[in-house]
A and B are shown apart, each in its own frame.
Chain A
C-alpha cells in the first residue's frame, strides 16, 4: 500500500454494502435519492472500501462482502479461472487481499492465489508468443496486475527479437517528443538550440559569413565594371 499510488487509490473505490447500526447525524447525502438529512438505523448503503473500513472498525456499520467475492462468482472462478473476464473487476486481486484481511477470511486469500497462479501461466505464454495479433481484447479481460505482467513480457519479447536481428543498436524515434513543425526555418532553429550552446555560437558566425557573401559578390562585380570601363 502506498499513499500516492494511483492503482491503490482506485482499488479502494470498491463498493461494499453497509448497514448502519445507529442513527447517523447529517449523512443523508451518502444515500442517493434521499431527502432526509439524517441516516436512520438499519439503512443499507453502498460505501467505498476506504470509508466502510473506517466506520466498521469503530463498530458503526456492518459491512458485507461485495458480490464478486461471494460464493456464486467464486464457484465460476474455481471452475475455470482462465475464461472469466476481469473487465469490470480491474483490481480483483488487489482489493481482494485487502478484503480478506478486513473480513479475516483466509480462504479468500488462498482462492486468489490459486486463480492468479492458473491465469498467470496463460498470460505469461501469451505475452511471449502473441506477436502481430490484436491484443486489445485479451488485455481488456485482465486485471491491472496481470496487464502489467503481460506488457512487460510483451515488451521483452520484442526487445529479444530486435537483439537477435541485430537491430538493438538502432536509434529509434522517440514518440514522447512532440516536436513543433510549424515552419521549416523554425524547426531547424529549434533543433539547433536543442543540440547545445556551442552550435548556436558557430551558427551565428556561419550566418554572418553567409550574409557577407552576397555583399562581396556585388563589390567584385563593381570592381570588374570599373576595370571594364577603364579598359
Chain B
C-alpha cells in the first residue's frame, strides 16, 4: 500500500508529546518509495507521448504524483515537528546540554541543529545581556527558600557563593542562583 511508512511517521509523532526515537528506517522507506514511483512515473509519461492524457494512463500518473507529494509532505511534517520540539527543549531546559537519554533519540543532523541553535540563542543572550530562558514571569522576591531533595554536596552558585546542599536541609538563597536547580528537580521551592 502506498505511503504506509510515511504515514506511520506522522502517527508516531502524534502519539507522544515528547521527542520519539528518530525513525531512520521509515524515512528511508518513504524516500525509496518516492524514487521508485518517480522512475515509473517518468517511464509512463515518456512511453505514451500522445496517450498520456487518456484516462487509462492519466489515473496512473495522477495517483503516482499525489503519492510522491504525500510522502514528501509526511516526512517534512515529521522532521519539522521534531525540530519544533527540540527548540522547545532548549527553551524549557535553560541550558545547552543534551542528556544522553535524549541524544540517542536524535539523528546526527538534529544534534548538530541543537548545538547550532544553542549557540545562536546563547550569542543573542550575551549580546542582549539577559538570559531570556530564565524567569518568563517577573519574580516577586529576589530570595527564595528551598529544600534539598537530592544530595548535591558542595556547590558553587552563579553569584560565586559556595553552599553545602545536604539532603533535607533548607536554605534561603538568591532566586537566580537556584532556579535552574529547582527545575532540574534537585531542590524544592518552599512557599
Which A residues fall within an 8 A CB radius of B? 3-7, 9-10, 13, 20-27, 29-30, 32, 39, 50-51, 54-55, 58, 60-61, 166-167, 169-174, 176-181, 184, 187-188, 190-196, 198-199, 202-203, 206
B184 touching A177, Cβ below 8 Å: yes
Contacts of B162 in A (CB 8 A): 206
B97: Cβ under 8 A from any A Cβ: yes
| B132 at interface, CB cutoff 8 A | no
Interface: B186 (CB within 8 A):
yes
Question: B152 and A23: CB pair below 8 A?
Answer: no
> How many angstroms from the CA of A17 to the CA of B91 in the assembled complex?
46
A76 to B154, CA, bound (A): 66
Residues B66 and A179 in contact, CB atoms below 8 Å apart: no
- List A contacts of B40 (CB < 8 A): 26
Counting residue pairs across A and B whose Cβ atoms lie within 8 Å, the total is 166
Per-residue CB proximity of B80-108 to A under 8 Å, as 1/0?
11000000110011110101111000000
Report A-chain residues with C-beta under 8 Å of the C-beta of B74.
Answer: 9
Q: How far is the CB of B97 from chain A (nearest CB, A)?
A: 6
Determine, out of B22-30, B57-65, B109-117, the stretch whose residues face the partner at the interface.
Answer: B57-65
- A177 to B184: give the CA distance in the assembly, Å: 6
Q: How far is the CA of A55 from the CA of B66 in the complex (A)?
A: 9
Kindly list 11 other residue pairs between chains A and B, CB separation below 8 angstroms, not including A27-B60, A191-B180.
A3-B77, A9-B74, A24-B63, A25-B56, A29-B2, A173-B184, A179-B99, A179-B184, A184-B153, A196-B158, A198-B158
Q: What B residues does A169 contact at CB under 8 A?
A: 139-141, 191
Kindly state whether residue B128 has any CB partner on chain A within 8 Å.
no
**Which of A4, A22, A180 has a CB less than 8 Å from the CB of B55?**
A22
Residues from chain B with a CB closer than 8 A to the CB of A5 are: 77
Question: Judging by beta carbons under 8 Å apart, are B155 and A167 in contact?
Answer: no
Residue of A nearest to B97 (CB): A194
CB–CB B183/A29 < 8 A: no
A-B contact pairs, 21 of them (CB 8 A): A9-B7, A10-B7, A13-B7, A22-B55, A25-B44, A25-B60, A29-B1, A50-B70, A55-B59, A55-B62, A167-B191, A172-B183, A177-B184, A178-B99, A188-B154, A188-B155, A191-B152, A194-B95, A196-B158, A199-B157, A202-B156
Bound-state Cα–Cα, A21 to B141, Å: 73
With a cutoff of 8 Å between Cβ atoms, the chain B residues found around residue A29 in the complex are: 1-2
Residue of A nearest to B89 (CB): A176
Check if B121 is an interface residue, CB within 8 A of chain A: no
The smallest C-beta distance from B149 to any residue of chain A, in angstroms, reads 9
Q: Decide if B56 touches A23 in the complex (CB within 8 Å).
A: yes
Q: Is B11 an interface residue (CB 8 A)?
A: yes
Contacts of B88 in A (CB 8 A): 176
Are the C-beta atoms of A198 and B160 separated by less than 8 Å?
yes
- Complex interface residues of chain B between 145 and 170 (CB less than 8 A to chain A): 150-158, 160, 162
Closest CB in chain B relative to A10 CB, distance in Å: 6
Residues of B contacting A181 in the complex (Cβ-Cβ under 8 angstroms): 150
Q: Which residues of B contact A32 (CB under 8 A)?
A: 1
The answer to whether A188 and B89 touch (CB under 8 A), given A170-B191, A173-B185, is no
**Taking CB as reference atom, which chain A residue is nearest B160?**
A202
Q: Distance (Å) between the CB of B172 and the closest chain A CB?
A: 14
Give A180 to B150 CA distance when docked, in angstroms.
13
A27, B144: Cα distance in complex, Å: 68
Selected from A9, A21, A166, A171, the residue in CB contact (under 8 A) with B144 is A171
Task: State whether the Cβ of B13 lies closer than 8 Å to any Cβ in chain A.
Answer: yes
- Docked pose: A99 CA to B143 CA in angstroms: 58
Asked whether, in the complex, the Cβ of A178 is within 8 Å of the Cβ of B102, the reply is yes
Give Cα A77–Cα B150 distance, bound, in whole angstroms. 54
CA of A13 to CA of B74, assembled, Å = 12
